[in-house]
């Protein structure tokens, strides 16, 4: 049995020293790193079998490091190491492919027992078993699932070709699972303890990809230099995705290397993938004719619409997977929803199905998923029948023209009415596009006014620790990306229950905005929601221990964590709520609490604050036109309160987390504990709160809001009023 190579990733020297010494005494090869970025560099430079990974790391946190490790080589087993208490349950709830977790301080017996379990699993490779004449090929908790004959054939052949040295080409539309099949083959092969190197050919310019694959050539006759990736990756598997995207001459060189078996001396296997039909690619000149024939094994994965009988099996597998992944109770899909999903055409294939299931598992608060929980983009097409759509057209010509017009409009809007960019995207000439625009009477309005926004999430999971203002408990945030259409969702770290960030779930607006679901709560959500509002983050899972941490009383730390995680634009458009008429909450009088909202080209908040001294009258107007303006004008403004209010809160068991460093404390004469960041910091903080409360509508607002002496309660009334207006 091969001795595992172990990597310890922890920023505590005492943990590294004690664990490394004990493992080396037992004969293990042990490396170490103090942060996630260096750990990934080590993993890319040499073969690692097991990683002991701390969840709390400087720079790139443990959860993101875990994902990066699994993305690079899913065969590496990761054991999360955590502190005590709530962090333990956090890891249990969010572990993303980790083998197990150990709670500090842990015993050496538990460490050695975990290593032995991993070694036994790695020796056995991918699970391949026969039962009732069906073969199951799986990786972790996901399997190549289906009874369609094409899938059954692939399942049967994987164990055989995995043990050979033959190169393989995988064919099938985007999203059909080609990379997953590649991982299964690698995990069941003799190379499973070595690297699986993934190269997406669409990400590289032609020359850079050529140098990456073949190295820099000393002469024209040389096919592959020793510095090339495919030559130097000894004993590894190389997955080349979207081969049709690389130039024909590069495809020809690749075919020559594969057909002449030049890499067998390095024992390197190439698994290539194409997402277009071979005959179409050859005809259009994007696919080299001899490329496919040079591969000894050619596997074809069918589109999901051609294997509809497998959809219930895939649904059940993904529901179980994501329920466990997010720490939720198992959910069930009702018959009416199942019928819709079976009949949907799934243009994005299994990848689209997987993303949809993840979204529904996280966002649906009940255990049963009904037809109403399916996004309208899917439900409307299937539930209400295509006939109603087609009946409006009297001829095929009219129907085709309507389809083409909508198709062009979609991409014109997506590209902000840029004709040149749209033509390039559609692979047509600009003159042709202009002709269609004229023929179908498409009117292009001013670009600024018609600019469309797209849904957003973060690029990677990230963690932030802190203290709850009212509870005083140590808490934190674990932010996780979600697919388009999911919305902002709060999740409880311990129980896994979730609450949508939605006005219908608000239970309290006294001193802070609080949400409550069937089995969980989320307190003081307004500062974080304001930050998500400003950054345009529309899809996100936020795991907390009941309360969002107060940090320094402002939103600056939330801005930083969003920027550290990175922002990713998604494919679906973001719908804004555009104010079309004036609405009023309360009676508009100087001494009254009131809010008015009226049409405007962007979100503008004008707030009037009239408090006794030392605050006095403060007035400020903020226009949400950029993230920078939010960070400069509003985000630094801190929570404040009067001494008498703090005493009242303490009598209610609240404000236990108030500190001199996270709260502006005011008595009858002066500010007690700090210097102000702005002369008018109090009114700016009121705008911060309002930005957060407004996001409970579930979409950004475009309009001018004027508020006088209002708080969370009036903000909630406004959002409820807007919700009713929208429904009407």
Q: Is there a contact between 554 and 531 (Cβ–Cβ < 8 Å)?
A: no
- In sequence order, the 6+-apart residues with CB closer than 8 A to the CB of 12 are 54
Hey, what are 246's tokens?
């690389």
Beta-bridged to residue 464, according to DSSP, are 477
| Residues facing residue 171 across a β-bridge | 274, 300
Phi-psi region of 553 (alpha: psi -120 to 50; beta: other; left: phi over 0): left
Q: Is the dihedral of CA 218, 224, 228, 231 positive or negative?
A: negative
* Token reading at 103: 């709670």
**296-321 burial: b if 16+ Cβ within 10 Å, else e:** eeebebbbbeebeebbebbbebbbbb
Q: Return the number of other C-beta atoms located less than 10 Å from residue 221's C-beta.
A: 6
Pairing mode of beta strands 462-467, 577-578: unpaired
Nearest-10 Cα torsion for 448, 449, 450, 456: 70
Token couple for 505 = 């779930």
In the DSSP assignment, the letter for residue 499 is E
Query: In the annotation, is 332 catalytic?
Result: no
Backbone angles phi, psi at 627, to 5 degrees: -65, -40
List C-alpha distances in Å: 535 to 321, 486, 538, 547, 691: 31, 17, 9, 21, 11
Tokens of 713: 């309660």
Backbone phi and psi for residue 277, each to the nearest 5 degrees, phi listed first: -65, 135
Q: Which two tokens stand for residue 170?
A: 């995988």
Sign of torsion over alpha carbons 359, 364, 366, 372: negative
The tokens of 1 are what? Answer: 């049995």
Rounded Cα–Cα distance for residues 354 and 348 (Å): 10
Residue 683, classified by CB atoms within 10 Å of its CB into exposed (0-12), middle (13-18) or buried (19+), is: buried
Other CB atoms closer than 10 Å to residue 702's CB: what's the count? 17
Q: Which two tokens stand for residue 257?
A: 């290397």
- Residue 652 DSSP label: T
User: What gap in Å lies between CA 84 and CA 312, rounded to an integer?
Assistant: 40
Contact 619, 682 (CB under 8 A): no
C-alpha 518/C-alpha 497 separation (Å) is 8
- Whose tokens are 């172990």? That residue is 6
| Catalytic site residue from 186, 194, 685, 712 | 712
Residue 611, CB-side half-sphere exposure with 13 Å CA sphere: 20
Report helix, strand or coil for 400: helix
The C-alpha atoms of residue 101 and residue 167 are separated, in whole angstroms, by 37
Residues noted as catalytic: 712
């Amino acid at each position: 049995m091969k001795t595992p190579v172990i990597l310890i990733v922890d920023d505590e020297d005492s943990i590294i020293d004690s664990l490394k010494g004990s493992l080396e005494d037992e004969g293990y090869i042990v490396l170490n790193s103090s942060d996630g970025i260096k750990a990934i560099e080590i993993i890319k430079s040499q073969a690692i079998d097991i990683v002991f990974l701390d969840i709390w790391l400087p720079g790139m946190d443990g959860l993101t490091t875990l994902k990066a490790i699994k993305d690079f080589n899913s065969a590496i087993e990761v054991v999360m190491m955590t502190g005590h208490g709530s962090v333990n349950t956090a890891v249990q709830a969010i572990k993303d492919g980790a083998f197990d977790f150990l709670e500090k301080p842990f015993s050496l017996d538990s460490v050695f027992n975990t290593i032995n379990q991993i070694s036994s699993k790695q020796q056995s490779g991918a699970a391949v078993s026969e039962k009732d004449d069906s073969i199951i090929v799986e990786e972790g908790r996901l399997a190549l699932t289906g009874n369609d004959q094409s899938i059954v054939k692939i399942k049967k052949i994987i164990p055989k070709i995995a043990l050979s040295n033959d190169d393989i080409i995988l064919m099938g539309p985007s999203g059909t699972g080609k990379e997953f099949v590649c991982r299964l083959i690698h995990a069941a092969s003799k190379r499973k303890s070595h690297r699986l190197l993934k190269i997406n050919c669409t990400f590289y310019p032609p020359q850079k990809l050529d140098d990456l694959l073949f190295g820099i050539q000393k002469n024209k006759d040389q096919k592959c230099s020793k510095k090339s990736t495919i030559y130097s990756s000894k004993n590894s598997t190389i997955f080349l995705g979207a081969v049709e995207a690389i130039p024909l001459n590069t495809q020809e060189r690749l075919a020559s290397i594969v057909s002449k078996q030049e890499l067998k001396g390095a024992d390197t296997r190439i698994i290539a993938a194409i997402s277009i039909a071979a005959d179409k690619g050859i005809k259009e000149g994007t696919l080299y004719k001899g490329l496919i024939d040079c591969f000894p094994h050619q596997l074809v994965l069918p589109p999901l619409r051609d294997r509809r009988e497998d959809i219930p099996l895939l649904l059940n597998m993904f529901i179980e997977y994501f329920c466990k992944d997010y720490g939720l109770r198992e959910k069930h899909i009702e018959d009416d929803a199942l019928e819709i999903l079976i009949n949907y055409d799934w243009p994005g294939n299994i990848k689209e199905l997987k993303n949809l299931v993840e979204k529904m598992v996280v966002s649906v608060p009940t255990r049963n998923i009904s037809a109403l929980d399916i996004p309208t983009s899917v439900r409307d097409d299937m539930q209400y029948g295509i006939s109603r759509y087609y009946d409006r057209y009297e001829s095929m010509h009219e129907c085709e023209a309507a389809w083409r017009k909508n198709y062009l409009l979609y991409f014109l809007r997506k590209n902000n009415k840029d004709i040149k960019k749209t033509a390039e995207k559609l692979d047509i000439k600009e003159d042709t596009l202009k002709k269609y625009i004229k023929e179908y009477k498409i009117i292009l309005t001013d670009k600024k006014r018609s600019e469309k926004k797209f849904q957003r999430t973060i690029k990677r999971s990230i963690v932030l620790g802190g203290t709850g203002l009212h509870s005083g408990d140590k808490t934190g945030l674990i932010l996780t990306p979600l697919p388009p259409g999911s919305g902002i969702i709060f999740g409880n770290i311990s129980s896994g229950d979730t609450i949508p960030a939605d006005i219908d779930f608000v239970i309290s607006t006294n001193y802070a905005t609080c949400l409550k679901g069937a089995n969980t709560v989320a307190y003081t959500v307004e500062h974080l929601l304001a930050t998500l509002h400003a950054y345009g983050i529309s899809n996100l899972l936020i795991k907390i221990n009941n309360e969002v941490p107060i940090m320094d009383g402002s939103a600056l730390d939330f801005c930083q964590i969003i920027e550290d995680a990175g922002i990713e634009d998604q494919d679906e458009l973001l719908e804004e709520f555009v104010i079309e008429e004036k609405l009023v909450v309360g009676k508009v009088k100087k001494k009254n609490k009131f809010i008015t909202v009226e049409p405007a080209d962007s979100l503008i908040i004008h707030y009037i604050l009239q408090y006794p001294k030392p605050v006095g009258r403060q007035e400020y107007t903020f226009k949400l036109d950029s993230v920078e303006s939010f960070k400069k004008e509003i985000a630094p403004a801190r929570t404040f309160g009067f001494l008498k209010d703090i005493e009242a809160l303490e009598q209610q068991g609240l404000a236990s987390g108030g500190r001199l460093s996270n709260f502006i404390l005011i008595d009858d004469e002066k500010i007690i504990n700090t210097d102000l960041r702005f002369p008018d910091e109090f009114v700016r903080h009121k705008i911060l709160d309002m930005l957060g409360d407004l996001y409970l509508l579930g979409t950004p607002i475009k309009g001018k809001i004027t508020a006088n002496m209002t708080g969370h309660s009036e903000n909630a009334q406004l959002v409820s009023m807007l919700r009713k207006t929208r429904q009407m």
